């Protein structure tokens, strides 16, 4: 590969961009509603176990594949496992990334519309029911859905035309810490609501009766979605890491911060859900119905709402940039397209998918499979099928196919090997992850 690759300028830049990819709507919109639908505490427990036993090892695997080759997924696999068809895994990853973008852009559009509502003061003086209507009105209007989705996509692809470093690094490094502080303020506010303890009980009390196999599958998918795994995204990012940073420290930092943000989102949402007498099982609309009610009762809620949706927008943008970058980098390095052409092609394809998803709540609501509209279907397939498949692939490759010396060298820090870390990774990627993911697939396909 003759393409010149520019590394991240600093370790902080690399971490900020990686956290920027991981922290997004997956944490703040998806985690609360998935936990809400699957019984709260038990879901959280399975989620955390999955992060520790599968998420971090798969992230490390992707880091190893990316940094040892400094190439995109396909090129990296051709270098690491030459002469085999293993590189085809890259196609699954890229398809998965495009599928994810299809529904993810629609949710980004919702955030943009809510930012606009916050600015125009739409949230003040309404009842909980009216907040529900606000959301229903949005998704039932094809033009509103298209307008906001397309607007967000335009911002995303314009930012991308500026290149990885300037675009991603600068946005992520400033906005992520601000979002974190704001979440802490919102958590404190929720904890002071009357009846807040019921929400905490829901989130932290472990009761398996509402979880079931279905919930376990969702917790796995959620962990992969939230950590940006299984789509070669971390391979692409790690290909920009410099050779001195400690991969394990980065993986634990990213996974730790990401999970913390998800749990904080839970602490922000559930006390409010119970305090306002709403339903935790509401599904994808949960956060959009609860948050306006939260801001309405807060002192200075007008400003908090604007700040929150603005920061969430930036968090979403760093995630969509990372998802788009997967396909773009692939087109540039494997098909020799110019960056501009690659961006345009990715934009065209994801616009088609996102448009269909945006319309699946209104004009195309009758297009359903197993009772899911296109949006729900892509949301489900992305995390529970594509990401798990991609993650399984990365785990098997690092566990069984690549030279152990590559793993040792990549995990070493300042020339110092860490046998404990090596053992943890090898056991997880050779045995735990493949067995767990295969069980999930057997369950999904109804075999067990």
For ligand TRP, the binding residues (CB under 6 A) are 21-22, 24-27, 100, 225-226, 228, 231, 233, 319, 322-323, 387
Chain-centroid distance, C-alpha 194:
32
Find the shortest distance in angstroms from Cβ 210 to ligand TRP.
23
Find the shortest distance in angstroms from Cβ 237 to ligand TRP.
9
Contact indicator for 260, 181 with CB cutoff of 8 Å: no
In the bound state with ligand TRP, the residue whose beta carbon lies nearer, of 231 and 255, is: 231
Find the shortest distance in angstroms from Cβ 201 to ligand TRP.
26
In the bound state with ligand TRP, the residue whose beta carbon lies nearer, of 239 and 275, is: 239
In the bound state with ligand TRP, the residue whose beta carbon lies nearer, of 195 and 256, is: 256
Find the shortest distance in angstroms from Cβ 60 to ligand TRP.
15
In the bound state with ligand TRP, the residue whose beta carbon lies nearer, of 172 and 278, is: 172
Find the shortest distance in angstroms from Cβ 257 to ligand TRP.
12
The first and second tokens of residue 101, run together, are 């973008």
Contact indicator for 388, 221 with CB cutoff of 8 Å: yes
For residues 351 and 26, what is the distance between their CA atoms, to the nearest angstrom?
Answer: 20
For residues 433 and 55, what is the distance between their CA atoms, to the nearest angstrom?
Answer: 9
Find the shortest distance in angstroms from Cβ 349 to ligand TRP.
16
Find the shortest distance in angstroms from Cβ 43 to ligand TRP.
16
Find the shortest distance in angstroms from Cβ 405 to ligand TRP.
28
In the bound state with ligand TRP, the residue whose beta carbon lies nearer, of 200 and 231, is: 231
In the bound state with ligand TRP, the residue whose beta carbon lies nearer, of 21 and 245, is: 21
Find the shortest distance in angstroms from Cβ 398 to ligand TRP.
17
In the bound state with ligand TRP, the residue whose beta carbon lies nearer, of 248 and 379, is: 379
Find the shortest distance in angstroms from Cβ 401 to ligand TRP.
22
In the bound state with ligand TRP, the residue whose beta carbon lies nearer, of 168 and 293, is: 168
Q: Which long-range contacts (CB under 8 A, 24 or more apart) does 155-158 make?
A: 155/317, 156/105, 156/108, 156/317, 156/320, 156/321, 156/324, 157/324, 157/343, 157/346, 157/347
In the bound state with ligand TRP, the residue whose beta carbon lies nearer, of 203 and 223, is: 223
For residues 388 and 291, what is the distance between their CA atoms, to the nearest angstrom?
Answer: 31
Find the shortest distance in angstroms from Cβ 437 to ligand TRP.
15
In the bound state with ligand TRP, the residue whose beta carbon lies nearer, of 71 and 189, is: 71
In the bound state with ligand TRP, the residue whose beta carbon lies nearer, of 26 and 301, is: 26
Contact indicator for 258, 50 with CB cutoff of 8 Å: no
Find the shortest distance in angstroms from Cβ 26 to ligand TRP.
2
In the bound state with ligand TRP, the residue whose beta carbon lies nearer, of 101 and 398, is: 101
Ranked by CB distance to ligand TRP, the top (closest) residue is 26
């Amino acid at each position: 590969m003759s393409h010149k690759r520019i590394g991240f300028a600093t370790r902080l830049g690399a971490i900020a961009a990686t956290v920027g990819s991981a922290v997004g709507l997956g944490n703040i919109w998806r985690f609360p509603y998935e936990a809400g639908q699957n019984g709260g505490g038990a879901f959280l427990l399975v989620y955390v176990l999955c992060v520790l036993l599968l998420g971090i090892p798969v992230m490390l695997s992707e880091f190893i594949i990316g940094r040892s080759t400094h190439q995109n997924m396909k090129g990296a696999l051709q270098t690491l496992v030459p002469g085999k068809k293993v590189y085809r895994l890259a196609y699954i990853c890229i398809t998965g990334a495009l599928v994810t973008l299809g529904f993810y852009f629609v949710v980004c559009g919702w955030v943009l519309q809510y930012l606009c509502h916050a600015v125009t003061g739409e949230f003040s003086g309404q009842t909980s029911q009216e907040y529900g209507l606000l959301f229903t009105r949005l998704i039932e209007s094809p033009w509103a859905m298209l307008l906001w989705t397309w607007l967000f996509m335009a911002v995303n692809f314009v930012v991308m035309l500026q290149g990885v470093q300037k675009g991603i690094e600068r946005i992520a490094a400033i906005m992520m810490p601000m979002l974190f502080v704001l979440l802490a303020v919102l958590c404190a506010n929720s904890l002071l609501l009357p009846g807040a303890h019921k929400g905490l009980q829901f989130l932290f009390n472990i009761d398996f009766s509402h979880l079931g196999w279905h919930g376990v599958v969702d917790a796995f998918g959620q962990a992969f979605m939230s950590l940006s795994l299984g789509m070669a995204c971390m391979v692409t990012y790690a290909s920009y890491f410099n050779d001195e940073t400690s991969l394990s420290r980065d993986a634990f930092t990213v996974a730790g911060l990401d999970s913390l943000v998800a749990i904080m989102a839970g602490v922000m949402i559930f006390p409010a859900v119970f305090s306002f007498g709403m339903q935790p099982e509401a599904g994808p609309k949960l956060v959009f119905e609860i948050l306006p009610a939260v801001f309405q009762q807060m002192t200075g809620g007008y400003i908090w709402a604007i700040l929150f949706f603005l920061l969430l927008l930036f968090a979403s943008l760093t995630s969509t940039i990372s998802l788009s970058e997967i396909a773009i980098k692939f087109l540039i390095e494997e098909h020799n397209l110019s960056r501009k052409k690659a961006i345009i092609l990715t934009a065209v394809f994801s616009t088609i998918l996102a448009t269909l998803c945006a319309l699946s709540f209104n004009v195309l609501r009758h297009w359903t499979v197993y009772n899911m509209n296109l949006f729900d279907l892509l949301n489900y397939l992305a995390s529970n099928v594509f990401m798990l498949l991609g993650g399984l692939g990365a785990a098997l490759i690092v566990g069984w196919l690549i030279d152990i010396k590559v793993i040792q060298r990549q995990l070493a820090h300042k020339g110092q090997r860490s046998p404990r870390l090596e053992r943890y990774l090898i056991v997880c990627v050779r045995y735990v992850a493949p067995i767990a993911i295969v069980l999930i697939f057997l369950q999904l396909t109804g075999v067990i």
